[in-house]
């Protein structure tokens, strides 16, 4: 965080909520939380301009939990989300933050699952309902009173809901909730359509926007990689194989993440340590001193714990988890490139965080180029380079000091000089894989998410030619049993994100979430894994489906 925040305890939240948040590993409120929580607690309507990655879910979930009357077993808060995926995520977040508030019940309501149990859960006393608009309207048609006790309404990702065509459903829902409610609207963008909704349905809303002053970043080479959230640690390990760093700081969001990544690095033989808010001051100083004098090479830290850390040896900053705002990003990467040295900053971006990357680029006025994970050949080259470097100073003097020993060993072992050298190498490298086939076996695929298709032989952000023999890009992802891949000509350039496709197929195809496999959105097309069984019927059902205003036109895709 770049601004001073007073911590969660200063926010006037119920101590049970604060305890749950701290137990989750959050150390300080993010900027959007810091600004929104007091406004929502005070009962104002609010428009929050924030995208995924800023901590917006907790920004509304915490104050709403604070307001819930646990003794009343009826819907009190309604959160509307564009997709089933987001609705489930928000519902899970509520449950996490309510862990120490017995009696709070949360229900997620979305299409593609039977309606009966959802309605029963609402009637049985869920105080918090997280719903997609389409399915909620179906419930309203069955029971128009179902939302009559709601006092708090949140529209999450309002711009996405409009893009998915939920405008009419929203109007129906607004009408079904008492006019005395408090309404909070979150949206990454505020086009005229959103402002019109706010004008009609919000009362004197307060505006919250994370003010981003233009920031300047110099002398630091920046790049980003698209990677799925659960692949971050393998991605970091692979990047470290090829990055030539002196000291490195890796930023993550939670205490647990500092521990997990530091443990994974230590297991690979790196001199690494975690730095988080739980670490006592004297231990913190020891870690920083060790990073300064080379007893440690990598520190994995949260933003809070890294405050004031100034170590000139740092050549690399890895943003393993996205910073909350561009200021934090600039602050983080400013740890490198000290004292006129070159610095390099890498940012891992999950598919949902792509917008945050754009905000960072806008605020810093710089493009953060896309990098790719090194392929096995690059990993092998880097290993051999390191080995060569470590041997170079030794070969000059070895002939004189060990020549006789070498002759004697080859004689005693009855082997060739080459065989002896090979044996010594194996011993010296601790059995590390040093041929391509072994490196390939050792480095399982780390599926990355590509926002743009690249053409063969395109230059990477570092000016090298990328290796188009790259097996990770060519090899099709293996399909699960009973699934086939389908293709649509809609892609990122049409403004499509995976969640839009997921939402459309769930809502209009009537499939259960787990029936849909991986969704890969490329620039000019997307691939979606669907069940083979009943595929023709499903494609017929989706014949007229539109996503982001365009025809989906889904077809079976044959790899070869
Ligand atoms: P959101 O923008 O709501 O999708 O949140 C993005 C991620 O940030 C989620 O994984 C949250 O668990 C995490 N997060 C939210 N607030 C905080 C915080 N104050 N400290 C650490 N992590 C947070």
How far away, in angstroms, is 297 Cα from ligand 1 center? 28
For the segment 311-325, the average pLDDT, to the nearest whole number, is: 93
How far away, in angstroms, is 539 Cα from ligand 1 center? 37
CA dist 65 and 77 (Å) reads 9
How far away, in angstroms, is 72 Cα from ligand 1 center? 29
Q: Which residue's CA is minimally distant from atom 21 of ligand 1? A: 26
Greater confidence (399 vs 508) lies with 508
How far away, in angstroms, is 237 Cα from ligand 1 center? 24
Ligand 1 pocket: which of 13, 22, 26 to mutate (most atoms within 8 A of CB): 26
pLDDT digits (tens, 9 = 90+) for 18-68: 999 999 989 899 999 999 999 999 999 999 998 778 899 999 999 999 999
How far away, in angstroms, is 47 Cα from ligand 1 center? 19
For the segment 389-416, the average pLDDT, to the nearest whole number, is: 85
- Mean pLDDT (the chain) is 86
Q: Which residue's CA is minimally distant from atom 19 of ligand 1? A: 29
Confidence of residue 461 (pLDDT cuts 50, 70, 90): very low
Instruction: Tell me the whole-structure pTM to 2 decimals.
Output: 0.60
CA dist 406 and 413 (Å) reads 10
Length of the chain equals: 560
How far away, in angstroms, is 379 Cα from ligand 1 center? 33
Asked whether residue 452 carries a pLDDT value surpassing 60, the answer given is: no
The CA distances from residue 487 to 344, 494, 513, 521, in Å, are: 37, 14, 18, 10
Confidence of residue 394 (pLDDT cuts 50, 70, 90): confident
CA dist 123 and 133 (Å) reads 18
- Point out the least confidently predicted range of 313-322, 371-380, 546-555: 546-555
Ligand 1 site, CB within 6 A: 26, 28-30, 33, 52-58, 253-254
How far away, in angstroms, is 133 Cα from ligand 1 center? 24
Q: Which residue's CA is minimally distant from atom 11 of ligand 1? A: 55
Q: For the stretch 287-314, what's the b/e string if a residue is b when 16 or more beta carbons lie within 10 angstroms of its beta carbon?
A: bbebbbeeebbbbbbbbbbbeebebebb
Ligand 1 pocket: which of 20, 156, 253 to mutate (most atoms within 8 A of CB): 253
How far away, in angstroms, is 111 Cα from ligand 1 center? 26
How far away, in angstroms, is 328 Cα from ligand 1 center? 14
pLDDT digits (tens, 9 = 90+) for 521-538: 887 888 898 988 889 889
Q: Which residue's CA is minimally distant from atom 9 of ligand 1? A: 55
Nearest CA-CA partner of 86 in 108, 117, 62: 108
What's the distance, CA 336 to chain centroid?
Answer: 23
How far away, in angstroms, is 253 Cα from ligand 1 center? 8
How far away, in angstroms, is 21 Cα from ligand 1 center? 10
Ligand 1 pocket: which of 57, 186, 228, 499 to mutate (most atoms within 8 A of CB): 57
Confidence of residue 135 (pLDDT cuts 50, 70, 90): very high
Asked whether residue 448 carries a pLDDT value surpassing 80, the answer given is: no
Greater confidence (426 vs 247) lies with 247
Asked whether residue 86 carries a pLDDT value surpassing 50, the answer given is: yes
Ligand 1 pocket: which of 24, 30, 302 to mutate (most atoms within 8 A of CB): 30
> Rounded to a whole number, what is the distance in angstroms from the first to the last CA of the chain?
49
For the segment 252-279, the average pLDDT, to the nearest whole number, is: 94
The CA distances from residue 230 to 235, 257, 446, in Å, are: 10, 12, 10
For tokens 């009696």, the residue is 103
Looking at the chain, the whole-number percentage of residues with pLDDT higher than 90 is 54
Q: Which residue's CA is minimally distant from atom 12 of ligand 1? A: 55
Asked whether residue 454 carries a pLDDT value surpassing 80, the answer given is: no
CA dist 389 and 500 (Å) reads 50
For the segment 84-111, the average pLDDT, to the nearest whole number, is: 94
Domains, the chain, in order of start with CATH, read: 2-209 (3.40.50.300), 220-375 (3.40.50.300), 377-442 (no CATH), 452-556 (3.30.70.330)
Which three-class secondary structure state does DSSP give residue 487? strand
Atom of ligand 1 nearest to the CA of 8: 19
Nearest CA-CA partner of 539 in 528, 554, 551, 526: 554
Asked whether residue 218 carries a pLDDT value surpassing 80, the answer given is: no
């Amino acid at each position: 965080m770049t601004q001073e925040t007073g911590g969660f305890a200063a926010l006037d939240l119920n101590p049970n909520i604060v305890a749950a948040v701290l137990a989750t590993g959050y150390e300080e409120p993010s900027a959007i939380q810091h600004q929104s929580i007091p406004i929502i607690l005070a009962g104002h309507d609010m428009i929050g301009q924030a995208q995924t990655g800023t901590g917006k879910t907790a920004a509304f979930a915490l104050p709403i939990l604070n307001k819930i009357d646990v003794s009343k077993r009826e819907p009190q808060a309604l959160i509307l989300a564009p997709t089933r995926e987001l609705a489930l995520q928000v519902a899970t977040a509520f449950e996490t933050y309510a862990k120490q508030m017995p009696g709070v019940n949360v229900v997620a309501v979305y299409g593609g699952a039977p309606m009966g149990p959802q309605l029963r859960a609402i009637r049985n006393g869920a105080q918090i309902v997280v719903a997609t608009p389409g399915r909620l309207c179906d419930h309203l048609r069955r029971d128009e009173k179902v939302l009559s006790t709601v006092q708090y309404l949140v529209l999450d990702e309002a711009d996405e809901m409009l893009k998915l065509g939920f405008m009419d459903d929203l109007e129906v829902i607004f009408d079904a909730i008492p006019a005395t409610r408090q309404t909070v609207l979150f949206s990454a963008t505020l086009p005229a359509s959103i402002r019109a909704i706010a004008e009609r349905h919000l009362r004197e809303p307060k505006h919250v926007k994370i003010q981003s002053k233009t920031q300047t970043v110099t002398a630091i080479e920046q790049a980003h990689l698209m990677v799925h959230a659960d692949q971050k640690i393998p991605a970091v390990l692979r990047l470290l194989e090829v990055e030539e760093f002196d000291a490195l700081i890796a930023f993550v969001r939670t205490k647990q993440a500092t521990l997990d990544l530091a443990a994974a690095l230590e297991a690979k033989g790196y001199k690494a340590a975690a730095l988080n808010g739980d670490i006592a001051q004297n231990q913190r100083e020891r870690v920083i001193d060790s990073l300064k004098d080379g007893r440690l090479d990598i520190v994995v830290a949260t933003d809070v714990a890294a405050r004031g850390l100034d170590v000139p040896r740092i050549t690399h900053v890895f943003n393993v988890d996205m910073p909350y705002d561009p200021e934090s990003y600039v602050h983080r990467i400013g740890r490198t490139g000290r004292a006129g040295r070159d610095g390099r900053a890498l940012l891992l971006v999950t598919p949902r965080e792509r917008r945050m990357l754009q905000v960072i680029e806008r605020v810093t006025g710089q493009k953060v180029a896309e990098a790719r994970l090194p392929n096995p050949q690059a990993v092998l080259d880097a290993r051999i380079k390191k080995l060569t470097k470590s041997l170079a100073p030794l070969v000059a003097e070895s002939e004189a000091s060990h020549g006789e020993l070498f002759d004697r060993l080859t004689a005693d072992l009855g082997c060739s000089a080459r065989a002896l050298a090979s044996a010594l190498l194996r011993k010296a490298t601790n059995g590390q894989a040093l041929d391509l086939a072994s490196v390939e076996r050792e480095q399982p695929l780390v599926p990355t998410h590509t926002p743009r298709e690249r053409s063969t032989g395109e230059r990477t952000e570092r000016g090298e030619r990328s290796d188009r023999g790259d097996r990770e890009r060519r090899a099709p992802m293996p399909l699960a049993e009973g699934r086939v891949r389908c293709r649509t000509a809609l892609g990122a350039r049409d403004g499509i994100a995976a969640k839009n496709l997921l939402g459309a197929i769930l809502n209009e195809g009537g499939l259960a979430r787990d029936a849909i496999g991986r969704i890969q959105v490329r620039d000019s097309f997307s691939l979606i894994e669907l069940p083979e069984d009943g595929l023709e019927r499903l494609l017929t059902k989706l014949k007229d489906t539109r996503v982001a205003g365009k025809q989906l036109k889904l077809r079976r895709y044959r790899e070869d």
